[in-house]
Structure 1
Amino acid sequence: MNWLERQLDRLRSSNPLVADGVLAVIFTAVGVATAFGQGGREGSREPGALLVVTALVTCAPIAIRRRTPLVALVISSLGILVHILVGWPEGSLPLAVLFLTYTVGAWCTLRKAVAGLAVVSTTIVVLGFSDSPGLDAVGVFTLLAQFTAAWAIGVALRNRRAATEALVREADKRAEAERQSAARALAEERLGIAHELHDVVAHSMSVIAVQAGVGAHVLDERPEQAKAALEAISATSRGTLTEMRRLLGVLRDSEGARSQAPAPGLGDLPRLVDDVRAVGVPATLHVEGTADGVHAGIELSAYRVVQEALTNVLKHAGKPTRIDVTVRHLPGSLTVEVTDDGRGLAARSSNGGAADAPADGSGHGLVGMRERVELWGGELSVGPAPGGGYRVKALLPYGDAE
């Protein structure tokens, strides 16, 4: 029996229809053999050649039980009905009908399964009224109970299979949602790092470029000023390397750990202003109010907005004579403003610094500033300042920041 089960499992895994065909042959052969073995039983006719035909009608539908289970059950029920009404011994042929009753419960919709059970029950009742041997009231009740039990087992297995498939689909949906969420988080992380790299490198390179130009210009006539320019370049380079190491530490740390170096904030704005002064542009920093409960992320965004604004001044404003950086602490919000008296909006637009485009054409300038501000529900305004020049202003609410 174990060998037979292994062979059937092998057939079922390779081709279920082939396995059903083999089952139909087995049920037919065993049914015919047992029916002939009961030949001469009291109250039954002697088996003849036509018995094989009714046995085939009863058992052969097993071969199509997966494709049309209800049709298979109806044909098999008619076969066993004719077989018993003729008076031939049934042998094991009713087991084929029992197996198909289970199949209808397991593979059909509930409506078709109920219809299949009704067909089988009607067949049993008809046979009970035909005075067939062994089918008195108790026999009919017993058969009804047996076939109903087989049908109920099939329905239960079908419901369990449907529930399992629903769980699998739900698990697949959750896995796909988690995958998409991880992909979005990774994309946001990469975008944030790209903004950080742009802000750090663009500002520092702008300062270095201006200082290098100044140093080359005064190298022969004013070596002390050239030396100061080189020292400023050295200091700016070291600061940039420190920032780069912090960002690379974010990428290297395992399991999302972050570098222990603190991110720049409002306390680092004086250094940015000093960098601008070092290239010969007068710059002032005004702080109104005191910081109280400002989120570190908002401080970083404010710092990057000021940094990018100062970078744009050095790159696009020509030769400004004044740069003002103002920080205002208001109840529940923070405002940073950078104004200069250099070239206005039209001149900057012709040089790649329009208000609605990246300041350097790289895709990370003013667009990056706007994204940083909107991340915290703030507002960014850029454009010509009253009286000439250019102004960048960011409003960052932090009353609900967590």
Structure 2
Amino acid sequence: MLLRRAGRWSRYSVPVVDVALGIIFLAFALESLTFILRFGAYAVYVADSALCTALALTQFGRLRLLHASFIATYTLLAAYAVLVAVSPVNLGLNPIIATAITSLYTVTRWEPDRRWGMTALLLALAGALVNPVTFSSYSRPNQSGVNPTVGDDSIWALIMVRTLTSLVFVGAVVLTYLLASSRRRVAENQARDIGIAAAQAVASERLSLARELHDLVGHSLTTIKVQAATGLALGGEERLRSTLTAVRDTADASLTSVRQLVSVLRSDTGEITPLADLRTIPVLIETTRGSGTRINAMLPRPGVLERCNEGWSAIQRLTLVRLVGEALTNAVRHGSGQIELSLMLSPASCHLHVSNPVPEAVEHSPFGGSGLVGLEERLRLVGGTMTHGVQHDDEGSSFFTLDVDFPVVPLELPASATDPDQDSGEMTDETGSGDSR
């Protein structure tokens, strides 16, 4: 309720600047009352006081009622100029005419339609040339009503003073317009930059979401497809039961990952930790083996992966998990034999090597869709590099190889984490047997 009332109040409140200007110009308007107090309530003095007061009041709606305030201000200024022109006495120069400047600035700075600002500029320039100074001198009316004799030199001096004053007014109008236009351009450029940044953020978010969905679902669906094809090819009740069980488990794991992603997207923090668990790498390998694919995997021991889980940043862990998943997916989808995978960790870097035979039909396009693009985008985020391509051995067989390197948070790892040939057993050499596709 309080917030609703506050919002309603802010909608009808007057900006502080307008309040300050209104009070200042009301003080100027009170000066016109001195004519009435000194000389009496003559019509010309009453009209002068009324116009000055009305001009001061327009400043309170300068921003809230921009159009109405602008029209009222310039209409009253025109009436004020006419009053000064036809007045039988010299009304002098009241600072209230500065409302022309404040109104010009407001319309030029804040009105989206530039025609309003141009109209205000032209009217202000006209007023700068045809103003109370043009019609009268600076002296206040005196009670004697005696007009001194004015010589030619004095007349020319008076003309020069009035001309210079008009030029000062013109300069003030032009400078005000240029200042308001400059600030308007700055604000428009800032708004445009913010809009571009927002659009880029949305595009980046869409790209990130597309990449995550591709990596999450692509591997699982490819595995399910291979498992189903294997079950259909081999037949047999027991084999079909085993295949359907594997399909169910793979689909369940994929659904869990998608739910985690949705949970991350809905959360305020956007923490990606549940999706960036290095312990899922052996699970990915076993899931791929479950489809009948043979994999020779060289991985760090679980203790090393756990240490990296605790020390690496979330984006580094997620990058490695997605790299392994996408590499296995493409090897299953496009390859034709045993997959060789090795994950080498050093204190400050990570190296992933994946290779698999490919048939000649896909030799020139081993990666399909957006997989390779997604891998490159991920690696750019962590400052990594990737090389890939088809190589041939002495027997003429074709192999697709993928090598990835990226820096990680420096950690103290066992020597065996960097050298799989040592005997401490910190690296595991896992060879899974399965049906060749």
Band the TM-score falls in, shorter-chain normalisation:
0.5 to 0.7
CA shift digits 1:148-168 (9 cap, x unpaired): 889768866765665455444
Match of 1:224 in 2: 238
8 Å Cα contact 1:249/1:259 also seen in 2: no
Counterpart AA for 2:329: T
CA contact (8 A) 1:204 1:236 kept: yes
Where 1:226 maps in the other structure, the secondary structure is helix
User: What corresponds to 2:315 in structure 1?
Assistant: 297
Give the corresponding residue for 1:311.
329
Distance in 2 (alpha carbons) for counterparts of 1:166 and 1:158: 12
Cα 1:243–1:396, aligned 2, differ >3 Å: closer, same or farther? same
How many residues are treated as equivalent by the alignment? 304
Q: Specify whether residues 156 and 67 from structure 1 end up closer, same or farther in structure 2 by C-alpha distance, changes over 3 A only.
A: closer
Q: 1:348 to 1:266 in 2, by over 3 A?
A: farther
Cα separation, partners in 2 of 1:172 and 1:71, compared to 1, 3 Å: closer
Gapped runs of 5+ residues in structure 1? 36-63, 78-92, 100-126
1-structure distance, mates of 2:227, 2:383: 37
Asked if 2 retains the 8 angstrom alpha-carbon contact of 1:65 and 1:72, the reply is no
**Residue 130 in 1 paired to residue 187 in 2?**
no
The alpha-carbon distance between structure 1 residues 347 and 98, as it changes in their structure 2 partners (threshold 3 A), is farther
Partner amino acid for 2:388?
A: V
CA distance, structure 2, for counterparts of residue 187 and residue 376 of structure 1? 19
**Cα distance in 2 for residues equivalent to 1:171 and 1:214:** 63
The Cα offsets for residues 29-55 of structure 1, whole Å up to 9 and x where unpaired, read as x15x449xxxxxxxxxxxxxxxxxxxx
SS at match of 2:275: coil
1:188 CA drift (Å): 0.7
Structure 1 residue 174 displacement after superposition: 2.4
CA distance in 1, matches of 2:123, 2:170: 16
Residues 345-367 of structure 1 deviation map (CA, whole Å, 9 limit, x = unaligned): x42257xxx25xx51x3xx2211
Tell whether 2:411 aligns with 1:393: no
The 2-side partners of 1:27 and 1:11 are apart by 24
> Could you tell me how far 1:130 is from its partner in structure 2?
2.6
Q: Is the 8 A contact 2:313 2:409 kept in 1?
A: no
Q: Describe how 1:188-199 pairs up with structure 2 within 5 A.
A: 188-199=204-215
Q: Secondary structure at the match of 1:266?
A: coil
| Aligned match for 2:229, one of 210, 213, 224 | 213
Alignment of 1:29-48 (within 5 A): 30-31=86-87, 33-34=88-89
Please state if 1:381 is matched with 2:393: no
1:19-168 correspondence to structure 2 within 5 Å: 25-28=82-85, 30-31=86-87, 33-34=88-89, 66=122, 69=125, 73=129, 94=133, 96=135, 130=152, 162-168=178-184
Pairwise CA distance, 1:229: 1.3
**% same residue:** 26
Task: Pick one of 153, 171, 176 that aligns with 2:192.
Answer: 176
Measured on the aligned residues, the alpha-carbon RMSD in Å equals 4.3
Residue type at the aligned position of 2:358: R
Hey, what does 1:102 align to over in structure 2?
A: none
- Structure 2 counterpart of 1:169, which letter? R
Partner Cα separation in structure 2 for residue 94 and residue 274 of structure 1: 93
- TM-score of the superposed pair, with normalisation by structure 2: 0.57
Residue identity in the other structure for 2:297? L
Question: Is the 1:286–1:327 Cα contact (8 Å) retained in structure 2?
Answer: yes
Verify the 8 A CA contact 1:332 1:399 in the aligned structure 2.
Answer: yes
**Aligned partners of 1:128 and 1:286: how far apart in 2?**
109
Partner of 1:370 in structure 2? 376
Q: Return the TM-score normalized by structure 1.
A: 0.61
Higher Cα Rg: structure 1 or 2? 1
CA shift for structure 1 position 266: 2.9
Could you tell me which runs of 5 or more consecutive residues in structure 2 were left unpaired when the two chains were aligned: 1-46, 59-66, 91-119, 139-148, 411-437
The answer to whether structure 1 residue 234 and structure 2 residue 240 are counterparts is no
Match of 1:343 in 2: 358
Q: Deviations over 1:171-202 (max 9, x none)?
A: 33223222221221121111011011111111
CA contact (8 A) 1:11 1:18 kept: no
Tell me, in whole angstroms, the C-alpha distance in 2 between the residues paired with 1:193 and 1:288: 30
Give the residue type in structure 2 aligned to 1:208.
I
CA distance, structure 2, for counterparts of residue 317 and residue 239 of structure 1: 24
Alpha-carbon distance between aligned partners in 2 of 1:295 and 1:94, rounded to the nearest angstrom: 73
What is the DSSP-based 3-state SS (H/G/I as helix, E as strand, rest coil) of the residue aligned with 1:275?
Answer: helix
Alignment correspondent of 1:104: none
- Residue 70 of structure 2 is aligned with which of 1, 10, 13? 13
Deviations 1:99-142 (A, max 9, x none): 9xxxxxxxxxxxxxxxxxxxxxxxxxxx976376xx8x9xx8xx
1:242-257 alignment to 2 at 5 Å? 242-253=256-267, 256-257=268-269
Do residues 270 (structure 1) and 285 (structure 2) align?
Answer: no
Q: What is the letter of the counterpart of residue 187 of structure 2?
A: A
